[in-house]
Amino acid sequence: MYYFLYLLSIFLIFPTMVLSETVNLDFNSLPSTQGWKYIADDNSIAETNIFSVTNEILYQNSLDTTGSNIYFKYDTIDYKFPLTIMLTARVLQVDNSSHPFGFSFGLSFINTVDNVIKKITIGIDTNKIQDSSGNIISSSIDNTKFNNYRLVLNTNSTFHFYVNESMLYTGTAIDVLIENNDSNQNYIFLGDGTYKCNALAEIKEYIFIQTDERKGLIDFYNSTDGKNWNNNMNWLGEIGTECNWYGVICDDHNSVKAIHLFNNNLNGTIPHSISNLAHLKSLLLHGNNLTGNIPEEILQIKTLESITLYDNYLSNNIISLMNQKIQDERKKWDANNDNEVGIEDAIYALQISSGMFSGENSTYTSCQEIVNSGFSKGDGNYIIDSDGTGENPSFEVYCYEMDSVPKEYLNLVHTDDQSNFSYHGGYNDNKRKTFTRFKRIRINPTSLEIDLNDTTFTDVEQLDDGEAGLLSYGKAYCCASINDDCGSANVNLKGTPFRLAIIDITCGGWGFSEGTKNISPDKQEVYFTGGGYCGECSFKTMQLEFMQ
């Protein structure tokens, strides 16, 4: 039976997770009824005088109080694994903006290797975010509105802090002394964390996740007969090599964000420990021989955006759970009378699930077809089929300008400083050196040809004085001197299902240099140089083809 499924993050939250440590606050009762310990420090104020729950929102009002009033959840952290805290909240008022910890959250843990206690505190007031080292993370975000705050701790005690999925800060946990004469220093905390400032705040989501991603990957390999996959290159390698395993794509912090193992002879069942991959965004498993139920734990991965499961032999047990979750979202919407709970996304997901579990591979061939179908959820990632027949693999595109004339873009996985750039090496005055870095490239979903001149999703890095302007994708250029190859470019398709069908790089211009070319054996990456006075080496056309 063929299955295709989109899951949207708004309804991917369930109370428990298998084979991982998860704390997911239920906003129908106070945290103290859910295993958290309420502590009033330097005061004797009762919990219910500071915190309350109404309409699935936790309210904090510590204004005009002294001391701190805070929740602790003990025995939650193992420093050997990365962890994530996700929080949706707003701070409406504070009484001391110079010390923004009247509303705060964070964690503490004992690193037994170094025999030290590490702590991270994030303080939030109406327009400021600060960490426990005194570093200002932001002073420009309106925290009186609900924002999504995310703290990601790595195993080396460094952390990254995000607001609404934009990374704002990288810091390090500080060393602290044992507090409150309590020997248990492995905990998470939430609330008014200081006597110097108090706050009026509202919290409507709190999730703590710590998982063993390596175990989740190994379980997946064993459960789907990995030794007989068409390609299992590097799988089961040493600890730290997971991001090099075939089909595994990691983010900049080495968390698994995608598994693309479609058409790879997977046989067996999807294991329950798939939920260990807590940062997973994309799971493409179509064209295999998977059997049994789709594990309910998939719905616990909050970050998940897209799944393809068609052309397998799976049951549709998960549909009833999706529908029930959507009905729960409707009730939230009725109670709060706003769209912040994601009712539009939930309704969209219901349409997708009911329409796509019909036994056919009915993916669309373009973003325009999605709009015409009525299933559009606005700009974002979608799965399309290049020829509409299912003979070629489906793939993910970013649909842009869905409210006018939609365009398809291919998401580039590798967007670091060494990948997917066109570099202008400057002029003979050694100035105007510029990097054009590409995050997405426009693709014709039928012909798989790339529009090299589309620079919609680019960042420009100006290295010195002057402005050289944007370069097209796959162009090495400079105007320094005759035969000077001071320009360079990189095209990196790794992590996508494509490779370069033809490598058509042409050099020309005044005093141009032929430069050098380095092409990966799989034709997914090419680095080349070029230039002159003024000269270039560049792709004249770029045609892609599927890897399989």
DSSP string over 305-368: -EEE--SSEE--THHHHHHHHHHHHHHHHHHH-SSTT-HHHHHHHHHHHHHH-SSS---BSSHH
- Closest Cα to residue 71, out of 32, 107, 122? 32
Residues 280 and 189 in one domain: no
Of 316, 337, 362, the last residue of a domain is 362
* Domain membership flag for residue 371: no
Residue type, 291: T
Residue at 406 is within a domain: no
- Shared-domain flag, residues 176 and 62: yes
Query: Quick one: 302 and 315 in the same domain?
Result: yes
| Domain boundary pick from 362, 395, 413 | 362
Are residue 169 and residue 71 in the same domain, yes or no?
yes
The answer as to whether 297 is a domain residue is yes
% of the chain surpassing 90 pLDDT = 38
24-67 pLDDT, tens digit each: 899 999 999 999 999 998 778 999 999 999 999 999 999 988 88
CATH code, domain with 75: 2.60.120.200
In a domain, 283, yes or no: yes
Number of domains in the chain: 3
Co-location of 202 and 223 in the same domain: no
Q: Which pLDDT score is estimated for 311?
A: 76
For residue 2, give the 3-state DSSP assignment. Answer: coil
Residue 390 in domain? no
Question: Are 194 and 267 found together in one domain?
Answer: no
Residues 458 and 350 in one domain: no
Please, what is the average pLDDT of the chain? 81
* 333 and 446 in a common domain: no
Residues 94 and 206 in one domain: yes
Residue 235 is assigned to a structural domain of this protein: yes
Q: Residue 460: which domain range?
A: 421-546
How do residues 239-279 score in pLDDT, each as one tens digit? 778 888 999 988 766 778 889 998 899 999 999 888 888 88
- pLDDT of 356 reads 35
Per-residue pLDDT reduced to its tens digit, 462-517? 766 666 578 899 999 888 788 777 889 999 998 888 999 988 888 888 878 888 88
pLDDT at 12: 32
Task: Provide DSSP, 227-246.
Answer: GGSS--TTTT-STT-GGGST
Residues linked to residue 90 through DSSP beta bridges, in sequence order: 202
Please report whether residue 487 resides in a domain. Answer: yes
Which has the closest alpha carbon to 252: 495, 423, 87, 77? 495
Query: 334 or 482: which carries more pLDDT confidence?
Result: 482
CA angle (131 as vertex; 129, 137 as ends), nearest 5:
45
| CATH classification at residue 276 | 3.80.10.10
Please answer whether residues 477 and 530 qualify as being in contact, where contact means their C-beta atoms are separated by less than 8 angstroms. Answer: yes
Residues 169, 245: one domain? no
383 has a pLDDT exceeding 90: no
Helix/strand/coil (H/E/C) assignment for every residue in 457-478: CEEEEECCCCCCCCCCCCEEEE
238 and 227, same domain (yes or no):
yes
Among 362, 380, 396, residue at a domain's last position: 362
| Confidence at residue 298, expressed as pLDDT on a 0 to 100 scale | 81
Q: Is 157 within a domain?
A: yes
Judgement on whether residues 205 and 217 belong to the same structural domain of the protein: no
